């Protein structure tokens, strides 16, 4: 969750939003509290750089103290986090029309940043906004961990060594972690 002391100037939110958009832009690109030298951070930093992110920006994202290695986030996301469908359409998540209006306003307010991300990474402003709507209600949803940290932890799974560590650690409790379908789903998220 993002906390700003001075919410009136908008600068704090813009800084955090820019970092968030960079990370989400990377994660939308098809790929198919701890020390910054951890292999998982280095692995994802290398992926960010390979996708065109400036090395200093990539390093800054991965060295941010708010990004921590939390395999519990991955487990919650894989096994306990499911979209809530409606009674009529249980496989489709319903979005309140007010949230859609907020999304449109959000895209107008952040048009410059969203356009820059689209030009650089090819990720549509609508896709980024939709992800932010679902994951954070555009930054207003009180979560026990921030969205960037959640996505970073999902990106850490792209490191085969780290994926193996998570499988070894949680495999007895969640035997599905050994299944190809679960691994594929984890890499898609």
Name the residue ranges covered by the structural domains of the chain: 11-188
pLDDT of 106 reads 94
* Pairwise pLDDT comparison (113 vs 16), residue with the higher score: 113
Rounded to two decimals, the pTM is: 0.60
69: Cα separation from own chain's centroid: 13
> What dihedral do alpha carbons 80, 161, 37, 13 form, nearest 10°?
-30
Banded model confidence at residue 137, pLDDT cuts 50, 70, 90: confident
Q: Helices marked H in the chain — which ranges?
A: 11-28, 39-50, 55-63, 71-79, 97-109, 111-121, 125-136, 147-156, 160-170, 180-188
The phi, psi pair for 143, rounded to 5°, reads: -115, 155
Other CB atoms within 10 Å distance of the CB of residue 181: 8
Percentage, residues of the chain above pLDDT 90: 29
Mean pLDDT of 64-90: 80
Place of tokens 């952040």: 110
Q: Please write the tens of the pLDDT for every residue from 47-76.
A: 999 988 899 999 998 988 888 888 988 888
Q: Under a CB-based contact definition with an 8 Å cutoff, are residues 30 and 188 in contact?
A: no
Least confident of 9-13, 30-34, 93-97, 125-129: 30-34
Quote the percentage of the chain above a pLDDT of 70.
75
Chain mean pLDDT for the chain:
78
pLDDT of residue 80: 74
Quick check: 59 and 49 in contact, CB under 8 A?
Answer: no
Helical pair 111-121 and 11-28, crossing angle rounded to 10 deg: 30
């Amino acid at each position: 969750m993002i906390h700003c002391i001075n919410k009136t100037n908008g600068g704090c939110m813009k800084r955090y939003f820019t970092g968030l958009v960079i990370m989400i832009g990377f994660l939308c690109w098809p790929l198919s509290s701890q020390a910054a030298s951890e292999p998982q951070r280095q692995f994802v930093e290398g992926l960010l750089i390979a996708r065109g992110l400036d090395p200093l920006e990539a390093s800054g994202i991965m060295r941010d103290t708010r990004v921590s290695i939390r395999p519990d986030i991955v487990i919650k996301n894989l096994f306990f986090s499911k979209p809530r469908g409606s009674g009529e359409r249980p496989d489709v998540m319903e979005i309140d029309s007010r949230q859609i209006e907020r999304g449109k306003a959000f895209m107008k307010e952040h048009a410059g940043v969203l356009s820059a991300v689209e030009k650089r990474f090819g990720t549509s402003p609508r896709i980024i906004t939709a992800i932010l709507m679902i994951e954070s209600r555009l930054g207003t949803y009180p979560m026990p961990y921030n969205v960037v940290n959640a996505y970073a932890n999902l990106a850490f799974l792209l490191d085969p060594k780290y994926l193996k560590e998570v499988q070894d650690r949680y495999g007895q409790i969640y035997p599905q972690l050994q299944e190809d379908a679960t691994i594929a789903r984890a890499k898609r998220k």
